[in-house]
């Protein structure tokens, strides 16, 4: 279980570093903007991550969904909150999001199990 989450984190970090190493100014500016909008502001980062998760679900980007699930977990999102977040994504995105919701719950359970196992 924990391998899935750790593999995702390591691979995403590796690919992010590779992209930043080879990217030009336009991409670096975009990445900086992305970083800035998720910072503390009028809207708390937790709420921003929840919005990012809904958008990722509607756009059906599994990599983005996993990233925002990980960030939502780090920001203290509960299972009940996740259920409502995914329900919003389902209503906005329609039934085509259902396979992504299945994988989202699987990844979420992996995150929670990973955390439980490291706390023991």
**Per-residue pLDDT reduced to its tens digit, 31-83:** 999 999 999 999 999 999 999 999 999 999 999 999 999 999 999 999 999 99
Q: In terms of residue numbers, what domain contains 62?
A: 2-119
CATH of the domain at 40: 1.20.1290.10
The contacts of residue 75 (CB under 8 Å, 6+ apart) are 45, 46, 49
% of the chain residues with pLDDT over 90: 90
d(CA 46, CA 49): 5
Buried b (16+ CB within 10 A) or exposed e, 32-58: eeeeeeeeeeeeebeebbbbbbbbbbb
Chain centre distance of CA 84: 15
Answer yes or no: is pLDDT of 2 > 90: no
Question: How many domains is the chain built from?
Answer: 1
């Amino acid at each position: 279980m924990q391998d899935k989450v750790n593999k995702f984190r390591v691979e995403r970090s590796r690919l992010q570093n590779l992209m930043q190493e080879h990217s030009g100014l336009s991409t670096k500016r975009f990445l900086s903007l992305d970083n800035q909008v998720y910072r503390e502001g009028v809207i708390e980062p937790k709420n921003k991550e929840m919005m990012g998760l809904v958008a990722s679900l509607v756009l059906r980007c599994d990599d983005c969904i996993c990233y925002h699930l990980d960030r939502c977990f780090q920001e203290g999102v509960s299972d009940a909150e996740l259920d409502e977040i995914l329900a919003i994504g389902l209503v906005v995105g329609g039934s085509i999001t259902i396979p992504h919701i299945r994988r989202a719950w699987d990844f979420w359970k992996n995150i929670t199990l990973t955390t439980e196992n490291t706390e023991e």
